[in-house]
Amino acid sequence: MHRKARTEDFSDKDLEVSRPAKFAVGIEAPEKSLVAALGNIGVERTTEVSLTINHKRGFDCPSCAWANPDHSKALEFCENGIKNIVWDATPVVIQDSFWAEHSLTSMLDKSEYWLGQQGRLTTPVYKAAGSDHYAPISWDDALDTLADALRGLDSPDEAVFYTSGRIMNEPAYLLQLFARAFGTNNLPDCSNLCHEATGAGMVPAIGVGKSSVHYDDFGMCDLVIVMGQNPGTNHPRMLNALEDAKHGGAQMVAVNALPEASLLRYKNPQQISGLLGEGTTLADQFVQIRSGGDQFLIRAVAKAVLQAEAAAPGTVLDHDFIDRYCSGFEAYRDAILAIDDREILQATGLHQSQIDELAQRYIDSNATIITWALGITQQKQGAATIADIMNLLLLKGNIGKPGAGASPVRGHSNVQGDRTMGVWDKLPAAFAAALNKEFGFTPPTQNGLDSVAAMNAIDAGKVKVFVSFAGNLVAAMSDSARAEDGIRQADLTVQVATKLNRSHVVTGKASLLLPVLVRAERDVQADGPQIVTAEDTVCRINMSHGELRPISDDLRSDVWVLCELGKRVLGSSRPRIDWQSFQDNYDTIRDAISRTIPGFEDFNERLRKQKSFILPHPPRDSRTFPTKSGKAQFTVQTTEAIDVPHGRLLLQTMRAHDQHNTTIYSLNDRYRGIKDGRFVVFVHPDDLAERGLTEGQTVDVFSEWPGEPDRVLRGYRAVSYPTVPGHAAMYFPEANVLVPRAAVDPACNTPTSKQVIIRIEAGTDPVPGGRPVAH
Ligand SMILES: Nc1nc2c(c(=O)[nH]1)N[C@H]1C(S)=C(S)[C@@H](COP(=O)(O)OP(=O)(O)OC[C@H]3O[C@@H](n4cnc5c(=O)[nH]c(N)nc54)[C@H](O)[C@@H]3O)O[C@H]1N2
Ligand SMILES: Nc1nc2c(c(=O)[nH]1)N[C@H]1C(S)=C(S)[C@@H](COP(=O)(O)OP(=O)(O)OC[C@H]3O[C@@H](n4cnc5c(=O)[nH]c(N)nc54)[C@H](O)[C@@H]3O)O[C@H]1N2
Ligand SMILES: [Mo]
Protein residues with C-beta less than 5 angstroms from the ion ligand 3: 194, 411
24 lies in some domain: no
DSSP string, 533-572: EEE-TTSEEEEE---BPPS-TT-B-HHHHHHHHHHHHHTT
d(CA 521, CA 546): 4
61 lies in some domain: no
Atom of ligand 1 nearest to the CA of 378: 32
Task: Kindly list the protein residues whose Cβ atom lies closer than 6 A to any atom of ligand 2.
Answer: 164, 166-167, 190, 193-194, 374, 378, 411-412, 469-473, 476, 496-499, 501, 516, 518-519, 558, 653, 661-663, 732, 735-736, 739, 753
CA of 196 to the centre of ligand 3 (A): 10
d(CA 72, CA 308): 41
Going from the C-alpha of 216 to that of each of 56, 213, 361, 401, 508, the distances in angstroms are 18, 8, 21, 12, 48
Number of structural domains found in the chain: 3
> Are 462 and 327 within one domain?
no
Give strand pairing partners of 717.
680, 698
pLDDT at 764: 75
Question: Do residues 58 and 52 make contact, with C-beta atoms less than 8 angstroms apart?
Answer: yes
772 lies in some domain: no
Is residue 64 within 6 Å of ligand 1 at its C-beta?
Answer: yes
CA of 243 to the centre of ligand 2 (A): 29
> Are 560 and 606 within one domain?
yes
5 lies in some domain: no
* Count of CB atoms situated within 10 Å of the CB of 319: 13
* Tens digit of each residue's pLDDT (9 = 90 or more) over 492-511: 999 999 999 999 999 999 99
563 lies in some domain: yes
Which ligand is nearest to the Cα of residue 408, counting in written order? 1
d(CA 324, CA 119): 58
Atom of ligand 1 nearest to the CA of 290: 35
39 lies in some domain: no
Atom of ligand 1 nearest to the CA of 227: 38
> Are 600 and 720 within one domain?
no
Residue 395 is part of a domain; what is its CATH number?
3.40.228.10
Which of 581, 604, 619 terminates a domain? The answer is: 619
Considering only CA atoms, which residue is closest to atom 1 of ligand 1? 234
Which positions of the chain have pLDDT values less than 70?
1-7, 26-57, 71-76, 271-276, 765-775
> Are 396 and 528 within one domain?
no
> Are 317 and 435 within one domain?
no
Considering only CA atoms, which residue is closest to atom 32 of ligand 2? 166
Which of 408, 426, 460 terminates a domain? The answer is: 408
42 lies in some domain: no
83 lies in some domain: no
pLDDT at 682: 98
> Are 323 and 187 within one domain?
no
> Are 222 and 315 within one domain?
yes
> Are 241 and 145 within one domain?
no
Question: Do residues 720 and 695 make contact, with C-beta atoms less than 8 angstroms apart?
Answer: yes
> Are 372 and 420 within one domain?
no
pLDDT at 174: 98
> Are 678 and 694 within one domain?
yes
Residue 167 is part of a domain; what is its CATH number?
3.40.50.740
> Are 227 and 304 within one domain?
yes
CA 300, 306, 308, 310 torsion: positive or negative? negative
Residue 713 is part of a domain; what is its CATH number?
2.40.40.20
Q: Among 169, 190, 378, which is best to mutate for testing ligand 2, by the most ligand atoms less than 8 A from CB?
A: 190
Which of 408, 442, 470 terminates a domain? The answer is: 408
CA of 654 to the centre of ligand 1 (A): 6
> Are 395 and 440 within one domain?
no
Going from the C-alpha of 402 to that of each of 6, 25, 307, 754, the distances in angstroms are 52, 29, 26, 33
Domain span at residue 239 reads: 196-408
